[in-house]
Chains A and B, each alone.
Chain A
Amino acid sequence: MAETENNKILEVKNLRTYFYTDDGVVKAVDGVSFDLKKGETLGIVGETGCGKSVTALSILRLIPEPMGKIVEGEIIFDGKDLLKLGQKELQNFRGNRISMIFQDPMTSLNPVYTVGNQVMESLVVHRKLSKEEARRGSLKLLEMVGIPEPKRRFASYPHEFSGGMRQRVMIAMAIANSPSVLIADEPTTALDVTIQAQILELMDELKSKTNSSIIIITHDLGVVAKYANRVMVMYAGKPIEFSNVDNIFYKPMHPYTIGLMKSITRLDEKNRKKLKPIEGLPPSLIDLPKGCIFRIRCKYAINQCKKEYPPLVEIEKDHRVSCYRAKEFMDGILERFGN
């Protein structure tokens, strides 16, 4: 696995996105770095409020100002830092080279325009198409994402669609211009379990067809296990572990990741143990404690954890962890899945 520079399609470096509220500054994303390779699916996992969605929104600079602000970092796409672009240039990237699918298909489509109108818009805004060409293009897209009777559905309004169908429409809009990167922010959370699989399969299929890369943001570890190549685990606005999917699932080295893995049922384990939730609550992102943020909930915490935040270091090849005791997990000194 020789990693060459031009293999990376997107690189995020030291991203910090803060929200300024009445109660104080919320450091929603605080020093996130990762890269996305061509053709891969990257999973970003974590609890609600860990900053994974804000990370996604930051990439397209969709953070609602002036409340939220990207205070630091670089987002390199195609050799350009997206954070340095002007509005006009940025608009050329959005929905064209990088596009996004949102969590709630019920609210992500504009209720007062027809589905066809909204899909067409994605095409028209980035290409100079005639009305008829755009119409034909949209019908093709609707067909691609598996909407039955696209001709009839073209003139329907979003409220006439089910949640799963709406998410298909969202996907059609997102892939309209064959983007290099598709960011899916919890694309199936709001959907029925049976529909979830269909949507994910569709995304996977389209990915191989269009040769794009996907960032999938989820709290569903099953989704990650099935579709992601690499995984970044986030906690309280920071990445705490980043590696390929096998390492994350079988050789996690951060106590938080270990906790997550313990909390899922393993179909492959003979004697299924009782589910073990991680004790304690995620911290408020306003007054973060000094040192490691997780240490309050961590039974492995040592003195050093109080002093300084552990840096994200490469413990083994392609496996970065931000924990002082990661090495001990690797070397088997500390038991992972015991009590």
Chain B
Amino acid sequence: MLYFIIRRILQIIPVIIGVTLILFTLMYIIPEDPAKLILEKGATPEALQNLRGKMGIDKPVYVQYWRYIKKLAKGDLGTSYRYRRSVNSILADHYPNSIKLALAAIIIEIIIGIFAGIVSAVKKYSFWDMLVTVSTTIAVCVPVYWLGMMLQVSFGLKLGWLPMSGMGDGSIRYYILPAITLASVSTAFVARMTRSTMLEVLSNDYITTAYAKGLSTNMVIGKHALKNALIPVVTLIGMDLGALMGGAILTETVFNWPGVGRTIYLAILQRDAPVVIGGTIILVMIFVVMNLIVDIIYALLDPRIRYEKKEIQI
């Protein structure tokens, strides 16, 4: 198990290097001169040159990349063009809010998604199954920010039940609409996946064995089928965190949620590349780490995985 975890952590490193390399390459071919962005219009050429030297952007590209990586390894994401503050401090203010929102969304995703999937599979072709199928199909296709706006109009504006935007005092009422919005696509995927794996699992021989033992339907589904069905679902939830992170930018923008996503959005508008890139890296990191956690849960759920990994250990 320890081997497995170490191996998975080692596998992350090339991903991070690859991601930073791609982003850095793209940043390097940026047509705009960041020095000009930082200084006011009409700055002297000397001042510009001076700043370029300070920022190190007059050096060759590989030197710049190495510096960036070195800084990144220390956790330094660079300096904002706009605010002349370190990107770290800007993001530090905001990322807890993003994580809180993401957690709320994951909770919705897991509870509603899995429950809907199970009901749909166990009562196949029933009204509930139809309802789940139709709503998940639509949820997958709906633009999240539009869904967010529709929820704002209906529950915030027309019915007045819930606050339309912002975090307010941080009470749970403020979380409901953005969390539902953020969770919508993922919940649909989870429900679909749960349904199909559950159907597959229910056709397995060991389910017949469990019934033949004299277990009740609830026991068979809750104990024998669920654990097997959840294994692929857990993987999906892990893979889907990426969508959640991406969705965070859109959702936080619509709901004026003070998180990393909205910070990235504002930085996009201000063409503040270090903040955008830094924020993106943070989101990717959160994604990768959560993915690792999911993989470990996966291995805990499925003894066969642990076994195989042990087998192919060198």
Contacts and interface: CB of A to CB of B under 8 A. Distances in A.
A100 B205 CA distance: 12
A111 B214 contact: no
Interface in B194-239: 203-206, 208-217, 219, 224, 227-228, 231
Interface in A72-109: 87-88, 91-96, 99-100, 102, 104, 107-109
Given A107-B206, A108-B206, A109-B206, A160 B214 contact: no
**Interface of B: prevailing SS:** helix
A170 interface: yes
Contact of B304 (A92, A102, A109, A159): A159
Nearest to B202: A64
Contact of B228 (A57, A64, A111): A111
B302 interface: yes
Contacts of B228: 110-112
B303 interface: yes
Interface stretch (A30-38, A121-129, A293-301): A121-129
A215 interface: no
A62 B211 contact: yes
A175 interface: no
B209 A121 contact: no
A104 B217 CA distance: 22
Nearest to B227: A112
B interface, size bucket = 20 to 34
B212 A94 contact: yes
Contacts of A121: 213, 215
A111 B303 contact: yes
B83 interface: no
A125 B215 contact: yes
Contacts of B208: 57, 62, 102, 108
Contacts of A145: none
Interface string B97-108: 000000000000
Contacts of B303: 111-112, 157, 159
Nearest to A176: B213
Nearest to B224: A110
Contact of B214 (A92, A113, A159): A92
A84 B205 CA distance: 25
A173 interface: yes
B290 interface: no
Contacts of A125: 213-215, 219
Interface of A: 57, 60, 62, 64, 87-88, 91-96, 99-100, 102, 104, 107-113, 121-122, 125-126, 157, 159-160, 170, 173
Interface of B: 203-206, 208-217, 219, 224, 227-228, 231, 301-304, 307
Given A91-B216, A111-B302, 11 more contacts: A92-B214, A93-B214, A96-B214, A99-B212, A107-B205, A108-B206, A110-B224, A112-B303, A159-B303, A159-B307, A173-B209
